[in-house]
Amino acid sequence: MKKFAQDFKKFITKGNVLDLAVAVIIGGAFGKIISSLVNHIIMPVVSLVAGKQSFEDIKTVLRPADEVAGITENAIYWGLFIQNVVDFLIIAFVIFMIIRTFARMNEMAEKAKNKLREDELKAKAEAEKLALEEEAKKPKPPTVEELLGDIKALLEKKVS
């Protein structure tokens, strides 16, 4: 779990171009679903716990509205900001899980390729070893020197 958290932290703080591209595509695809999850399921529960009617309406008013003077309200909507942060974290987490899954699948595929290469090399070495053993079992034809020696021996027998 600790490595998982470290990988997720590294992913959020430092990503490569592929990670970013995947994040943009997946983020766009899941954006509406995640926003709906946050807006319609998670944040209403948080609002209930916080004792507010709507979490996105939680704000700090810097300057109240004055309709007579034509001044509109100026406020920091930190509830909406927190809602968007939750939105982002969920999307980032989903993207992280997808990329991590692909990385593990690639790692497994690479291990399988390496194992296959090792098996092929072992099989080839075994085949070469068997071929050499078979070659060693075959009778070797006599060398020229051996033949000349045999002829010489035969001639000496006939002469004597």
What domains, with CATH codes, occur in the chain? 2-159 (1.10.1200.120)
Q: Give, for all 160 residues of the chain, the pLDDT tens digit.
A: 788 888 777 776 765 666 777 777 876 777 788 888 888 888 888 778 777 677 777 888 999 888 888 889 999 988 888 888 888 888 788 778 888 998 999 999 999 999 999 999 999 999 999 988 888 788 888 888 888 888 888 888 877 6
Q: What are phi and psi of 53, to 5 degrees?
A: -75, -45
pTM of the complete model: 0.53
